[in-house]
C-alpha cells in the first residue's frame, strides 16, 4: 500500500519546485525557510528567455521586479543558509521526497476550449522520468477539472513505470496568490489540497502545513480542488464584469459609477452582502483571463451529457469574460471620442500610455489589457509611447523610462495601470509637456481628479464617469 511505502520513506525533507515564476519562487523560499525541510531545489529550464533566472536566484537575487514585500530578503536568507538552490538538472528530482509544479497553462483557442498544456506536460514528463517510489507529486498550476487524475496520472505512470496511488502520491493544491503580496498570500490563505486518494491528500497536507501561518489546509478530492480554483477566479471575473458593465451603463446614463458604487456598498446589516469590486480599463494576468475556460472545458469533458442548463443560452461565465475582454476596446473608443472633440483624428496622433503591467505597482505584464488597446491605436495609425515604472522591456513594444519622454508632444495621455506614481501626476506640468491647448486625458483607473484637468483645458474621459465624459471644453 502507498501509505506503507510513505511510512517507510519517512517525513518530507527534500522538495523540488518546477517553474521559477510568480508562484514557484515564493513557494520555494517558504519551503526552504521552514525548519521541517532540509533542502529545496528550484527547477528552471536553461532557455534563452528564462535561463537567466538560474544564476540570479543562486546569487539570492529575485528576478521579479515588482514590489514584493520580504521576498528578496527571504531568498537571500535561504540561499545563504544553503537550503535553496536553482538548477536546470531535472535528474536531481530523484533525490527528493516531494515535487510541486507551478507552470503556466494558457489557452490556445478560447472558442474551442483548447488549453495549451505543452509546458506543463513537459514538466510532468521530467518528473515522471525521475520519479521514485513513495514520492509526492503536486500540481499547483490552474488546470482543467479532471487533469490531475486523468492525463497527469497517465503521463507520470507511462514515464516512470510506477502506479499512482500505489507507488507514488499525486495531488492538486492550487496556488492562490496575487502579485504584490505573494509571501503573505501563501502563508495566510487556506490551502486547498486534493489528492487522488486519501494517502495522497495526507502527504500533501504534510507538505503544506509547515508554511501556513493563519491559513489551514482544506482537504477534498483532486477534481473538487481543480473546480475550486477555477471557480473562485471565475467568480471574481464575474464580479469584475458586473461592475464594468455597470460602469458602461453609468457612462451612457450620464452619472458617476463611483457614486453608485458607494451607495450600494453602504447597505449593510446581517445577511446583507453588496460589496463591489472596482471598474477599470481591463482585466489581465495569467489566472482570470483563462480560468473561466478551464472551468467551462471541465464541465464539457466531465459532465456534458449530464449538465442541466437553459437551452440555447450562453454561459454566464463566458459572457462575463467577454465583457472584461471588451474594456480595452472601450478605452480606445473613449480615446477616439476625446480626440474628435478637438478635431484630432486617431491617425497621426501621439498617445502617451501610462502603465503596461496589468496590476498596480507590479511588473507583471501577462495578458496585459494595455496590449490590445495599443494594438487598436497602432492599427489606426497612432504613435504610442508607453511608460511603466516597473517594466523596462516587452517584446515588440518600446517602453520609455521617463514620464516626460512619453508625454512630450502627446495629444492624449491614457492611464491603464493604477501605479502609485500616476496618483501624483501634476496636471499643469503634463499640459506644458504636451504643448497642446486641449490635450486629452483618459483615466482607466480613476486615478485623477477630472475637474482639475477640465479646468486646465484638458478633454477628460474616464471609465464610468458619465457625469464628466461630456463636459464643456474650457479654455484653460
Q: Active-site positions?
A: 229, 287
CB-count burial class (<10 Å; 0-12, 13-18, 19+) for 35? exposed
- The owner of cell 496590449 is 371
What residues form DSSP beta bridges with 84?
40
53-63: string of b/e by CB count within 10 Å (b at 16+)?
A: bbeebeebebb
201-224: string of b/e by CB count within 10 Å (b at 16+)?
A: bbbbbbbbeebbeebebebbbbbe
Q: Distance between CA atoms of 179 and 185, rounded to whole angstroms?
A: 9
Give phi and psi for 42, each to the nearest 5.
Answer: -100, 130
Nearest Cα residue to 10 out of 104, 145, 136: 136
Nearest Cα residue to 30 out of 17, 43, 19, 44: 17
463-473: string of b/e by CB count within 10 Å (b at 16+)?
A: bbbbbbbebee
Residue pair 92/10 in contact by the 8 Å Cβ criterion: no
Instruction: List % helix, strand, coil for the chain (3-state, nearest 5).
Output: 40, 15, 45
Q: Give the dihedral sign, CA 322/244/374/67.
A: negative
Q: Distance between CA atoms of 250 and 264, rounded to whole angstroms?
A: 14
Residue pair 388/422 in contact by the 8 Å Cβ criterion: no
**362, containing H or E segment:** none
Give phi and psi for 397, each to the nearest 5.
Answer: -130, 110
Amino acid at each position: 500500500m502507498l501509505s506503507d511505502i510513505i511510512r517507510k520513506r519517512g517525513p518530507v525533507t527534500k522538495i523540488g519546485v518546477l517553474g521559477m515564476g510568480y508562484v514557484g519562487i515564493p513557494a520555494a523560499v517558504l519551503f526552504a525557510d521552514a525548519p521541517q525541510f532540509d533542502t529545496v531545489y528550484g527547477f528552471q529550464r536553461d532557455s534563452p528567455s528564462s535561463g537567466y533566472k538560474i544564476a540570479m536566484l543562486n546569487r539570492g537575487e529575485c528576478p521579479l521586479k515588482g514590489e514584493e514585500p520580504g521576498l528578496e530578503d527571504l531568498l537571500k536568507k535561504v540561499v545563504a543558509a544553503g537550503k535553496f538552490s536553482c538548477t536546470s538538472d531535472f535528474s536531481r528530482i530523484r533525490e527528493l521526497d516531494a515535487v510541486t509544479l507551478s507552470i503556466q497553462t494558457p489557452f490556445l483557442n478560447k472558442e474551442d476550449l483548447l488549453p495549451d498544456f505543452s509546458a506543463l506536460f513537459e514538466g510532468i514528463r521530467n518528473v515522471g522520468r525521475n520519479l521514485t517510489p513513495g514520492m509526492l507529486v503536486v500540481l499547483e498550476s490552474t488546470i482543467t477539472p479532471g487533469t490531475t487524475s486523468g492525463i497527469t496520472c497517465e503521463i507520470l505512470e507511462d514515464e516512470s513505470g510506477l502506479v499512482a496511488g500505489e507507488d507514488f502520491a499525486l495531488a492538486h493544491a492550487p496556488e492562490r496568490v496575487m502579485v504584490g503580496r505573494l509571501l503573505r498570500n501563501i502563508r495566510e490563505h487556506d490551502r486547498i489540497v486534493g489528492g487522488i486518494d486519501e494517502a495522497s491528500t495526507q502527504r500533501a497536507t504534510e507538505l503544506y502545513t509547515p508554511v501556513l501561518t493563519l491559513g489551514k489546509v482544506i482537504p477534498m478530492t483532486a477534481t473538487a480542488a481543480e473546480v475550486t480554483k477555477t471557480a473562485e477566479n471565475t467568480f471574481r471575473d464575474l464580479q469584475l464584469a458586473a461592475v464594468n458593465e455597470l460602469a458602461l451603463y453609468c457612462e451612457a446614463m450620464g452619472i458617476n459609477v463611483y457614486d453608485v458604487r458607494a451607495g450600494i456598498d453602504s447597505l449593510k446589516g446581517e445577511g446583507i452582502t453588496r460589496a463591489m469590486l472596482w471598474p477599470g480599463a481591463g482585466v489581465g494576468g495569467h489566472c482570470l483571463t483563462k480560468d473561466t475556460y478551464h472551468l467551462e472545458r471541465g464541465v464539457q469533458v466531465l459532465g456534458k451529457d449530464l449538465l442541466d442548463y437553459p437551452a440555447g443560452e450562453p454561459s454566464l461565465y463566458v459572457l462575463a469574460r467577454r465583457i472584461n475582454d471588451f474594456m480595452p476596446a472601450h478605452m480606445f473608443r473613449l480615446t477616439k471620442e476625446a480626440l474628435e472633440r478637438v478635431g484630432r483624428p486617431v491617425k497621426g496622433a501621439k498617445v502617451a500610455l501610462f502603465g503596461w503591467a496589468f496590476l498596480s505597482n507590479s511588473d507583471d505584464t501577462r495578458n496585459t489589457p494595455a496590449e490590445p488597446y495599443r494594438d487598436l491605436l497602432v492599427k489606426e495609425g497612432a504613435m504610442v509611447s508607453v511608460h511603466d515604472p516597473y517594466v523596462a522591456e516587452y517584446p515588440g513594444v518600446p517602453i520609455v523610462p521617463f514620464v516626460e519622454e512619453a508625454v512630450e508632444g502627446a495629444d492624449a495621455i491614457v492611464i491603464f495601470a493604477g501605479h502609485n506614481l500616476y496618483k501624483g501626476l501634476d496636471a499643469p506640468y503634463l499640459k506644458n509637456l504636451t504643448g497642446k491647448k486641449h490635450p486629452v486625458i483618459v483615466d482607466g483607473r480613476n486615478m485623477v481628479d477630472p475637474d482639475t484637468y477640465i479646468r486646465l483645458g484638458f478633454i477628460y474621459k474616464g471609465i464610468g464617469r458619465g457625469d464628466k465624459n461630456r463636459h464643456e471644453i474650457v479654455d484653460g
